[in-house]
Amino acid sequence: MALSRNTDRKFLELHGNKWRVVVPVPRKAQAAIGKTKLRQALPTDSLAEANRLKWPVVANFQRQIDRALRPDDHLEKALHLAQQRRDAVASTGDAEPEENQIDDYIEEIQGPVIAEDEFGEPIYDPQREAAAHRFADIAYSRATPFTASRAKYEAQLKVAPRTKADDARAFAALIAWCEREGIPLFRETFGRREAVRFHDDFGASGGRHPVTLNKYMRRLSIFWKWMLRRDEVKTNVWQGLTYAVPHETDETEERPFTDDELKSLLRGPAQENMHDLMRLGALTGARLEVLVSLKVGDCLNGAIRFKAAKKEKGARFVPIHPDLVAIISKRTEGKSEEDHLFPEWPPVIKEGSLRERSFKASQDFTDYRRSVGVTDAVEGKRRERVNFHSFRRWFVTKAEQADQPESTIASIVGHKRQGMTLGVYSSGPKLDQARRCVEAVILPEVSDVIVLPSKKPRAQR
C-alpha cells in the first residue's frame, strides 16, 4: 500500500524546522562526487508539501549519480580510435578497418539485448546504451569532450599556483553550469550562444566582484585560445565577454599611507619582527611576499636581492637604506646564507597548499593595523583602501616628491620602465643612482616606540 504525502518520508529528513532532500550516494560514485549523501534544503515545514517538491531534486541528484557511475573509462579509447580514423582518412581516404573496430567497441559497450519492444526492436540497458552513443559520437569525431586535452593544457600551464587554481575553478564552474543546464560538454556544440548564456548566469550568481569574474572569464578564454592554436576549436567563443568594473575614484581606490598613519604604525605597540617588516616595506617599496621570503644571503654587500615577482623578468638589487642597516645586521648576524631573514613567518608546510608564505604575515599586519586605528573601509568592497601594499605606494610617492627620476623609481620597485630605450635597451640605473633614490625617502620621526618581544615561529599548515 502506497504511503500518503502526510506519512511518506522517503528521501526526506527534518533539518531544524524545515524538510530537506537526502539521497544516498552509492559507494562506487562517492569518490567522484566527494560525498556519501547529497542534500538540499526545501523551503517548507510541511511533509505533504515536501513530498510534492522533492521529486525534481531527487531526479537532479540521480542524474549526478548516474554521471558519476557511467562507464566513461571508454573516453580515452574513443579519443584514440577517433585519431586513428582521422589519420587513415587523411592518408588513404579509407578508414574501414578503423570503423569496424569502432563498431565492435560500440556493440561491446552496448551489451546484450534485454528485451524487445512491441515492434520487435531490441531494447538495451539504458545506461549502457547511452554510454555506447557517447562512445560513437566521440570515436566518429562528431563530438569531443571539453576534457579531452585538458590534462595536456594544465601540464604546459606555467603560472603561479593561485592562478592555476583560478583556472581550475573557472573550468569547474563551466562544467557544473553545463550539467545543470543540460548542455552537452562537447567542443563541437558549445558555441558563442552558450558562452554568452554562461557569462550572463555566472555574473548574476552574485557574491563576486567584477574583477574576480573577469579573472575567471580570462582563464576560460586562455584555454580556448590554446585549443584554437591546436586546431581543436574553430573560434574563441569567450572573445570580448567581460564584466563592467565600477569606476574607481579618489574616494574608493587603494592608496598610500599618510604620514600620520605611518607614524601610528611605526610607533607600536608591535612585536619586533613586525616593526622590522614595516620599516623594510616602507624603505624598499618591496611587496610583502618577497620581503618575508628573503634569506640572509640576499642581504649582502650593502644591497638587498629581491626575487622576481609578478611579471618581473629577473631579480633586482636595492641598496640598503641607512635606517635599515641595524635591522639587517641584527637579523643576519651569526646566521648562514640559507637562513631566513624572517623566521617568525615560516613557509607553509602543507604540500599542495596555495597559500603564499606571506599569508600569515599579512593577517598579522592587518590585525595590528586595525588595532592602532589605521583603517579605510569602502562600502561594498572586501579590501580596505590601505593595506601592506600602501607601504609600497608610500615609498613611490615620497621618492617622486623628492624629485627622483621615474625610471629609477620603477627599477627599484620592479615596475616595467616605459619606452623602448629604457624598457628594452637599458639594463637599469647604476647602484649609486639607486642609492640616491632610496636615501631620498625619509621615514617620519616617531617617539616612544613600543616594541614587544617577537613570538616564536609557528609553522603554517
pLDDT at 398 over 80: yes
Three-state SS at 72? helix
Helices (H), 372-424: 389-401, 406-413, 420
Contact by Cβ (8 Å): 399, 433: no
Percent of the chain with pLDDT over 90: 41
Helices (H), 333-376: 359-371
Q: What integer is the mean pLDDT of 103-131?
A: 82
pLDDT at 438 over 50: yes
Which residues touch 306 (CB under 8 Å, ≥6 apart)? 284, 286, 290, 294, 298, 315, 316, 317, 318, 414
Task: Give the model's pLDDT for residue 249.
Answer: 62
- Report the C-alpha gap between 118 and 53 in whole angstroms: 35
Cis, bond preceding 269 (omega within 30 deg of 0)? yes
Q: Among 41-55, 56-70, 148-162, 173-187, where is mean pLDDT lowest?
A: 56-70
- Report the C-alpha gap between 304 and 332 in whole angstroms: 12
Sign of CA dihedral 86, 87, 88, 93: positive
Work out the widest C-alpha separation in the chain, in whole angstroms: 97
- Cβ burial of 371 (10 Å; 0-12, 13-18, 19+) is exposed
Task: Give the model's pLDDT for residue 308.
Answer: 78
Please name which of 427, 422, 160 lies closest in space to residue 310, comparing C-alpha atoms: 160
Dump strand ranges (E) for 60-207. Answer: 115-116, 122-123
Task: Give the model's pLDDT for residue 128.
Answer: 79
Extract the C-alpha cell encoding 36: 556519501
57 residue type, one letter: V
Q: How confident is the model at residue 8 (pLDDT cuts 50, 70, 90)?
A: confident
User: Tens digits of per-residue pLDDT, 189-233?
Assistant: 899 999 999 999 998 877 788 888 999 999 999 999 999 999 989
Task: Give the model's pLDDT for residue 399.
Answer: 94
Percent of the chain with pLDDT over 70: 88
Contact by Cβ (8 Å): 217, 171: no
Average pLDDT, the chain: 85
Please name which of 317, 309, 324 lies closest in space to residue 416, comparing C-alpha atoms: 309
Q: Which has the higher per-residue pLDDT, 33 or 327?
A: 327
Contact by Cβ (8 Å): 396, 409: yes
Which residues touch 4 (CB under 8 Å, ≥6 apart)? none
- Report the C-alpha gap between 251 and 110 in whole angstroms: 65
Three-state SS at 150? helix
Task: Give the model's pLDDT for residue 250.
Answer: 60
4 residue type, one letter: S
Please name which of 384, 346, 387 lies closest in space to residue 365, comparing C-alpha atoms: 387
The angle subtended at Cα 129 by Cα 123 and Cα 130, nearest 5°, is 135
Contact by Cβ (8 Å): 294, 285: no
Question: Containing H/E element for 103?
Answer: helix 96-110
Contact by Cβ (8 Å): 255, 386: yes
Three-state SS at 92? coil
Task: Give the model's pLDDT for residue 284.
Answer: 94
Please name which of 406, 399, 407, 400 lies closest in space to residue 425, comparing C-alpha atoms: 407
Q: How confident is the model at residue 324 (pLDDT cuts 50, 70, 90)?
A: very high
Contact by Cβ (8 Å): 416, 311: yes
The pTM for the full model equals 0.59
- Report the C-alpha gap between 287 and 276 in whole angstroms: 14
Task: Give the model's pLDDT for residue 93.
Answer: 87
Three-state SS at 205? coil
Measured CA to CA in angstroms, residue 443 lies from 92, 282, 379, 414 at distances of: 77, 8, 31, 21
User: Tens digits of per-residue pLDDT, 59-100?
Assistant: 888 777 766 665 455 777 888 888 888 889 888 888 888 889
Helices (H), 230-358: 259-267, 272-284, 288-292, 325-332
- Report the C-alpha gap between 214 and 211 in whole angstroms: 5
Q: What integer is the mean pLDDT of 395-400?
A: 95
- Report the C-alpha gap between 364 and 387 in whole angstroms: 11
Q: How confident is the model at residue 251 (pLDDT cuts 50, 70, 90)?
A: low
Sign of CA dihedral 270, 273, 279, 285: negative
Q: How confident is the model at residue 423 (pLDDT cuts 50, 70, 90)?
A: very low
Rg of the chain taking only CA atoms, in angstroms: 30
- Report the C-alpha gap between 303 and 438 in whole angstroms: 11
User: Tens digits of per-residue pLDDT, 351-362?
Assistant: 666 678 888 999
Map out the domains of the chain with their CATH numbers.
Answer: 12-69 (no CATH), 144-245 (1.10.150), 259-452 (1.10.443.10)
DSSP 272-289: HHHHHHHHHHHHH---HH
pLDDT at 131 over 90: no
Q: What integer is the mean pLDDT of 312-336?
A: 89
Task: Give the model's pLDDT for residue 301.
Answer: 86
